[in-house]
Chains A and B, each alone.
Chain A
Amino acid sequence: MSQLVKDPKEKSFFTTLAESPSTNEFIKGIWKDNPVFVQVLGMCPVLAVTNTAENALAMGFATTFVLVMSNILVSLLRNVIPKEVRIASYILIIATFVTITDYAIQAISVDLHKSLGAFISLIVVNCLILSRAEAFASKNTFIPSVLDALGMGLGFVLALFSLGALRELLGNGSLFGMSIFSDNFQEWIVMILPAGGFFTLALWLLLFNILKERRSHGK
C-alpha cells in the first residue's frame, strides 16, 4: 500500500493535500486504508445490503453517521471513561447512536427501513466502528477524530457503493432504480443473490490485488 505514496506521480498529486496531517487523516480512509478493500472490515453489511445502489448508499451513510458521532463522543470523553470499562462504554455509545439511526431511518422512509431490515441494528457490531473508536478516537482529539471518522466513513460508502452499483447494474439492469439499458436487457439475477455479493466483493478485491501487483512490479 505504501507504494502508492512513494510513487512519484501520486506524490505530486498528494503533496499539497498531504501537507497538513489532518488532511491525511481524512484521505487515508478513502484509499490507502480503505476499510473494506484494504482492511477487510465490516463485511456483513458490505455483502448483505449492497444488492442495490440505494441500499448501499443508505447503509454507508448510516454507518458513517454512527461512526462520526461515536468518534466524537469517544474523543471527547476519552479522559473521563475509566480504562477498564472503555470497550463496554464504546459499545453503549455506539448502540445508542445506532438506535437513533434506526428510528430516524424508519421516520424518513419505511420502505428503506424494510429493505435494510435488521442490518441497521447490526451496525452495532460492525468491527469498523469499534476499531476506530478504540484505535483512533480514544487516543486523539476532537478534530482529527472527526476527520478520521469522515474519511473512513467515506471510504466505506465508496466501497459499498461500488459493490451496490455493480450488483444492481448487472442484477437488475438499473441504477438507483432507473433502467440503464434497453428493455431487452437480460438481468443477471445471481448478482442480487447472496452468492453475487460474495462474487462481487471478491472481484473488487481481486482488482485491488492486481493493481497492487502491477505497481509493485512496475517499481
Chain B
Amino acid sequence: MENESLWYIFINASLISNFVLAYFLGICPFLGVSGKLDTATKMGGAVTFVMLISSMCAYGINALLIAINAPFLQLISYIVVIASTVQLVEMFVKKMSPALFRALGIFLPLITTNCAILGLALFQTNKGYGFIESLVYALGAGIGFTLALVLMAGIRQRLDFADSPKVVKGTVITLLIAGILSLSFMGFSGLGG
C-alpha cells in the first residue's frame, strides 16, 4: 500500500474508516464520556495527543523488533509502551502545564485501556506505514475519534431534555445513535481515493 497519499490516509482514518463508527475501537470511552460536550472535547484531545505519541513509539519499537527478529514480542511491548507512555505523558503534562493537566487529568489513565490506541499501533504496523504516514494516520484517527465523540455529545445533550422512552435511555439510545452516525459516515466512502 505504498501508493496511499497522505491525504487519503488522513480522510480514511478520520472519516471513512472512523475508529469508533467503523472499527468499534474506543467504544468504552465513547459510551462513557459522550454525555457532556465539555468532557467529550477534552477526552478527544487527550486521545489524539496520546495517539500521536504512541504512534511514534510503536513505529520505533516495530523497527527494533524487526531488527532483532522478535515479532512475537510485538503485542507485549506495545501494551507496555502505551501504558508507560500514558504515565509519562501524565507526568509531563502535570509538570509543564497544570492547566492542561486539570483539563485532561482524569482522562489520561482511562486511555491506557482504550483499545483505539493499541488498535492504532497494530493497524499502522499491519499496513506497513512509514514514519510520516503513521503520524498522519494517528492524527486522522484521533480527529475522527474526537469528531464521533463530539457529535454524539451534542445529540445526547439534547436528549437529556427529551422525553425518550425509559427502556431505551442510556446505553441503548447511545448505540442506536452511533448506528445512525455510522450509516451517515458511509457517505464518505470513496472519498480521497
Cβ of B167 and Cβ of A194 under 8 Å apart? Answer: no
Of A96, A126, A195, A213, the residue contacting B182 (CB under 8 A) is: A195
Separation of A190 and B182 alpha carbons in the complex (Å): 11
In the assembly, what is the distance between CA of A148 and CA of B72, in Å? 29
Cβ–Cβ contact A197 & B24, under 8 A:
yes
Task: Tell yes or no: A27 within 8 A of B by CB.
Answer: no
B93 within 8 A of partner (CB) = no
Q: How far is the CB of A193 from chain B (nearest CB, A)?
A: 8
Whether B183 lies near A195 (C-beta < 8 A) is yes
A18 near B: Cβ within 8 Å?
no
Question: Given A40-B31, A102-B75, does the pair A125, B115 have CB atoms closer than 8 Å?
Answer: yes
Report the count of interface residues on B (CB-CB < 8 A): 38
List of A residues within 8 angstroms of B75 by Cβ = 95, 98-99, 102, 121, 124
Query: Min CB distance, A70 to chain B, in Å?
Result: 13
Any A CB within 8 A of the CB of B56: no
Are B27 and A43 in touch, CB under 8 angstroms? yes
Which of chain B's residues has its CB closest to A98's CB? B75
The answer to whether the Cβ of A118 comes within 8 Å of any Cβ in the partner chain is: yes
- Among the listed stretches B42-50, B116-124, B137-145, which one makes contact with chain A, having 4 or more residues with CB under 8 Å of it? B116-124
Q: Which of B96-104, B128-136, B155-163, B173-181 contacts A (4 or more CB under 8 A)?
A: B173-181
Closest to B176 in A: A202
A198 to chain B minimum Cβ distance, whole angstroms, is: 3
Complex interface: stretch among B1-9, B33-41, B58-66, B76-84: B76-84
Cβ-neighbour of B76 out of A95, A118, A122, A190 (below 8 A): A95
Q: Is A48 a contact partner of B24 (Cβ separation < 8 A)? A: yes
Contact, CB under 8 Å: A199 / B24: no
Residues of B within 8 A of A201 (CB): 175
A195 partner residues in chain B, CB cutoff 8 A? 179-180, 182-183, 186
Instruction: Rank and list the top 5 A-B pairs by shortest CB-CB distance, nearest first.
Output: A198-B179, A202-B175, A43-B27, A47-B24, A195-B182
Residues of B at under 8 Å CB distance from A? Answer: 21-28, 31, 72, 74-76, 79-80, 83, 113-115, 118-119, 122-123, 126, 166-168, 171-173, 175-176, 178-180, 182-183, 186
